[in-house]
Amino acid sequence: MDKKFYITTPIYYANGLAHVGHFLTTTAADVLARYQRLLLGDENVFFTTGLDEHGTTVEQAAVKDGFTSNTIKDYTDKRAEQWKQDFDLTNISYDYFVRTTNPKHEKIAQDFIREMVKNGDVYKAKYKGKYCNGCEKFLTLSDLNKEGYCPLHRPDQVIEIEEENYFFKLSKYAGQVKKLIEDNTIKIIPENKKAEIISRLSGKVEDFSISRPKEKVSWGVEFPDDPRQVIYVWIEALINYRSSLEITKKPEDFWSNSWHLLGKDINWFHNTIWPAMLLAAGYSVFSGSFVHGFLMIGGEKISKSKGNIITPKQLVEKFGVDGARYLILANFPYDNDSDVTWEQLIIKYNADLANGLGNLVSRVAKLAENSGFEFPKIQPSGSHPEGEVKKHLEEFRFDKALEYIWGKISEADKYLDDKKPWNLQGVTLQEVLQELVGRIRQIANNLRPFLPETAEKVEKQFAGGKIASSSPLFPRLQ
Ligand code: MSP
């Protein structure tokens, strides 16, 4: 049996457009999908990303944009096109674009909840407390700042609610989920994000509200067998990871090697609530999740209102598609947050791409062209990234994998400078150029999951026969 690989990103709220933070998670997932396709073949990899389209935030944004409560779907249709354009622009090779307004997803979500109800894990009770519309979240005391507000959103986004909801017996599953995480049935990477969940699961875990009254939240999926309630948007959204497989009729073995990629803000939802829901509905749990830190801009949180936002489109306009992908992956916030500014990005682009990779490729191509030699042909797209790159990718170390590849670029530069092929002739020159061409081919192979267009260009240019020089891969920026 072929091994399968299923990789997901969070589904992003449809109330806004993609920024560099969303681009970061999605590019990381894309790298893993591309890498696994090289190992397992296209048909054995399933990569999903998409939009979370229900809930108050989306409804409010639609109304603000001039849509009415009857045309919210038109608003999310428009948003879905915009997000897809951004993902296409940045070469994100998703296999399926999730939209939670897809009626098939809505039905699967209802059936999922029905299973939880059948299992005796859902009951009706009063919820009294704070809710943040911005987070779409019931706030616990630990979520609040000193002033009693949500630290992430404007004070008016936090409302007091007292309502009758359906509750899920999360407390019943806390011990079981903790054990599954401890014994690595669910692998949480990196270690500090695992520790965070284990510590919270070691304390008191409360049951969790999974519905909202329809008169308060109308833009949602109706709770099964109760038209007065809608499914709480987070609960419905998490089910996308199952509904995507069911809608596309993927065999169950994708689920047995399924990985969620996400930011640290939604660790608890993915690594406690979601596995508990799966257990309650009678499913096996997913294989694991990779929880990364946040990308900051100039030391600040990305925030539209503060004006420190970078969009994928802006990055591509400045650095090209692969330049954008490289800069974000090289600054990857593995276990801590990372920070970028336009100035630093330009410096890194010039150092690593215009000078490092770009310069090496153009110097060697020029020397090969001038030599007039014929080089042995290789099968383009024939081989895989090296063992060291594999190791880093399997540990979600995008930054380290790139550091390794850039180490190889420096070594090739050094070899070139030491051997000084411009002073050589005949067989010695041929040997040195042959060695350099071989090294560049290996570098291109290693780059395939990360910088797919560049890797392909370089592979073609160095495929063998006569080698010609070409325009710079990454023009220098001022
Ligand atoms: N709709 C929910 C997720 C439901 S998944 C079943 C949601 N959406 S979101 O639009 O707010 O996206 C959150 C995700 O975007 C984060 O978990 C992270 O993957 C990514 N990021 C948003 N800002 C980010 C940074 N500044 N840095 C890195 N990633 C960031 O939550």
- Nearest-CA residue for ligand 1 atom 13 is 12
**In the chain, what percentage of residues exceed pLDDT 70?**
99
In a domain, 321, yes or no: no
Q: Is the pLDDT of residue 379 over 70?
A: no
What's the mean per-residue pLDDT of the chain?
95
CATH of the domain at 420: 1.10.730.10
Q: State phi, psi for 140 to the nearest 5 degrees.
A: -95, 170
128 and 19 in one domain?
yes
pLDDT, residue 164, reads 93
Q: What is the DSSP letter of 308?
A: B
Q: Is the pLDDT of residue 447 over 80?
A: yes
In a domain, 31, yes or no: yes
CATH of the domain at 79: 3.40.50.620
In a domain, 472, yes or no: no
200 and 112 in one domain?
yes
- Nearest-CA residue for ligand 1 atom 16 is 263
In the block, tokens 């296409």 appear at 88
372 and 276 in one domain?
no
Q: pLDDT tens digits for 68-124?
A: 999 999 999 999 999 999 999 999 999 999 999 999 999 999 999 999 999 999 999
Q: pLDDT tens digits for 199-216?
A: 999 999 999 999 999 999
Between the alpha carbon of residue 177 and those of residues 262, 272, 285, 443, the distances in Å are 19, 7, 9, 42
pLDDT, residue 41, reads 95
Q: pLDDT tens digits for 3-62?
A: 999 999 999 999 999 999 999 999 999 999 999 999 999 999 999 999 999 999 999 999
User: What domain range is 454 assigned to?
Assistant: 341-461
53 and 124 in one domain?
yes
Q: Is the pLDDT of residue 433 over 90?
A: yes
378 and 279 in one domain?
no
Q: Is the pLDDT of residue 141 over 90?
A: no
In a domain, 441, yes or no: yes
In a domain, 302, yes or no: no
278 and 393 in one domain?
no
Looking at ligand 1, which atom is closest to the CA of residue 263? Answer: 17
Number of domains observed in the structure of the chain: 2
Ligand 1, CB cutoff 6 Å, lining residues: 10-13, 21-22, 24-25, 52, 237-238, 240, 262-263, 265-266, 294-295, 302
Q: What value does the mean pLDDT take over residues 189-195?
A: 98
12 and 124 in one domain?
yes
User: In a 3-state reduction of DSSP, which class is residue 281?
Assistant: coil
Question: Tokens standing for 44?
Answer: 């054995």
413 and 272 in one domain?
no
**C-alpha 262: how far from its chain's center?**
6
**In the chain, what percentage of residues exceed pLDDT 90?**
88
Q: How confident is the model at residue 192 (pLDDT cuts 50, 70, 90)?
A: very high
Longest dimension (CA), the chain: 86
In a domain, 471, yes or no: no
Q: Which helix (H) or strand (E) holds 247?
A: helix 240-247
- Contact (CB, 8 A) for 29 and 47: yes
How far is the centre of ligand 1, averaged over its atoms, from the C-alpha of 262 (Å)?
7
CB burial of residue 478 (10 Å; 0-12, 13-18, 19+): exposed
pLDDT, residue 380, reads 55
54 and 126 in one domain?
yes
Range in 96-105, 149-158, 183-192 the model is least confident about: 149-158
- Nearest-CA residue for ligand 1 atom 9 is 12
In a domain, 298, yes or no: no
pLDDT, residue 129, reads 87
408 and 282 in one domain?
no
Residue 4 a catalytic site member? no
281 and 349 in one domain?
no
> Which of 132, 292, 392, 408 is an active site residue?
132
Q: What value does the mean pLDDT take over residues 418-441?
A: 96
Among candidate residues 252, 268, 292, the one where a domain is terminated: 292
Q: What is the DSSP letter of 287?
A: S
Q: How confident is the model at residue 152 (pLDDT cuts 50, 70, 90)?
A: confident
Q: How confident is the model at residue 147 (pLDDT cuts 50, 70, 90)?
A: confident
Q: Is the pLDDT of residue 381 over 80?
A: no
pLDDT, residue 145, reads 85
How far is the centre of ligand 1, averaged over its atoms, from the C-alpha of 245 (Å)?
21
Nearest to 267 by CA among 292, 303, 301: 292
Q: Is the pLDDT of residue 247 over 90?
A: yes
In a domain, 144, yes or no: yes
Q: Is the pLDDT of residue 305 over 90?
A: no
How far is the centre of ligand 1, averaged over its atoms, from the C-alpha of 296 (Å)?
13
pLDDT, residue 8, reads 99
Among candidate residues 234, 260, 292, the one where a domain is terminated: 292
Q: pLDDT tens digits for 308-360?
A: 899 999 999 999 999 999 999 999 999 999 999 999 999 999 999 999 999 99
Question: Tokens standing for 158?
Answer: 């936090």
Pocket test for ligand 1, best of 7, 25, 27 (most atoms within 8 A of CB): 25
361 and 274 in one domain?
no
Q: How confident is the model at residue 382 (pLDDT cuts 50, 70, 90)?
A: low
Sheet order of strands, 137-139 included = 137-139, 122-132, 158-168, 208-209
The span from the CA of 225 to the CA of 213, in Å, is 13
Q: Is the pLDDT of residue 1 over 60?
A: no
Please tell me the pTM assigned to this model. Answer: 0.96
